[in-house]
Amino acid sequence: MIRRLRRTAPRWNPTALAVIAERTRDPFRVLIACILSLRTQDTTTGPAAARLFAAADTPRALLRLSPREIERRIYPVGFYRTKARVILGICRDLLDRFGGRVPDAIDDLLTLRGVGRKTANLVVTVGYGKPGICVDTHVHRISNRLGYVRTRTPDATEMALRAKLPGRFWIGYNDLLVAFGQNVCAPVSPRCSVCPVRPLCRRVGVTTAR
């Protein structure tokens, strides 16, 4: 399944976080971009991150910006006012507790306010190239739709994948399935007629398809 998706992936529109990661492997940019992406479409996340990083791209530099300036630059991402406060809090925490450096361990990242397992895993995998499995709604939904796992929550999916998925596939699994979900395997009425892994998919929960 992964081999088939990898062969098809170059035809799809890349995810916003993949574009940011391709330009720079800076863990700080990956962390902040991931915060911006929560409950926000990629078409909004990418430009918002670009506007913010054009003004400041380090914890110390971001702290020189007012909350209002950050809000202005990241609008219209979802919950932009809350995210502006979260970003400033993360920057202060990074400087106070980690010397301004984004930690490369999931447990340390989870101590940052506003950082959950999805974000922590993404920073570790994309920012540092270390093993981890980032599970968002796409990865959770598609992994269950394929019949590869049977779980009820993204956290449970992560643990199930850690136990079952070979380690060599961990780092790229999120980006591959997110792009697949955005371009083919939609939540409602997936495009099964053009799906490269249809013969391998159990189509769990699929009631309508294109």
* 186, 96: one domain: no
Does any domain span residue 18?
A: no
Does any domain span residue 21?
A: no
The confidence score (pLDDT) of residue 159 equals: 97
User: 165-189, pLDDT tens digit by residue?
Assistant: 999 999 999 999 999 999 999 999 9
Does any domain span residue 20?
A: no
- Nearest in space to 118 (alpha carbons), one of 34, 177, 17: 34
Indicate if the pLDDT at residue 20 is higher than 90: no
CATH number for position 165: 1.10.1670.10
* 31, 122: one domain: yes
* 122, 148: one domain: no
Rounded distance between C-alpha atoms, residue 171 and residue 124, angstroms: 9
Rounded distance between C-alpha atoms, residue 210 and residue 183, angstroms: 13
- Nearest in space to 29 (alpha carbons), one of 38, 39, 41, 19: 19
Domain boundary at 128, 157, 174, which?
Answer: 128
- Nearest in space to 51 (alpha carbons), one of 76, 79, 83: 76
CATH number for position 96: 1.10.340.30
Rounded distance between C-alpha atoms, residue 121 and residue 139, angstroms: 13
Of 26, 83, 93, 118, which is the active-site residue? 118
In the residue annotation, 130 being an active-site residue is answered as: no
Does any domain span residue 200?
A: yes
3-state DSSP: the chain helix, strand, coil percent, rounded to 5? Answer: 65, 0, 35
* 57, 3: one domain: no
* 119, 156: one domain: no
Domain of 151 in residue numbering reads as 1-12+131-210
Residue 190: helix, strand or coil by DSSP?
coil
The confidence score (pLDDT) of residue 14 equals: 87
* 135, 84: one domain: no
Of 96, 136, 155, 175, which is the active-site residue? 136
The confidence score (pLDDT) of residue 24 equals: 77
* 86, 146: one domain: no
* 83, 139: one domain: no
User: 122-159, pLDDT tens digit by residue?
Assistant: 999 999 999 999 999 999 999 999 999 999 999 999 99
* 57, 114: one domain: yes
In the residue annotation, 96 being an active-site residue is answered as: no
* 85, 106: one domain: yes
Rounded distance between C-alpha atoms, residue 139 and residue 135, angstroms: 5
Phi, psi (deg, nearest 5) at residue 108 = -70, -40
Domain boundary at 84, 111, 128, which?
Answer: 128
Could you tell me the pTM of the whole model? 0.90
Query: Domain count of the chain?
Result: 2
Q: How confident is the model at residue 18 (pLDDT cuts 50, 70, 90)?
A: confident
The confidence score (pLDDT) of residue 21 equals: 80
Indicate if the pLDDT at residue 55 is higher than 80: yes
User: 61-120, pLDDT tens digit by residue?
Assistant: 999 999 999 999 999 999 999 999 999 999 999 999 999 999 999 999 999 999 999 999
Q: What percent of the chain stands above pLDDT 90? A: 92
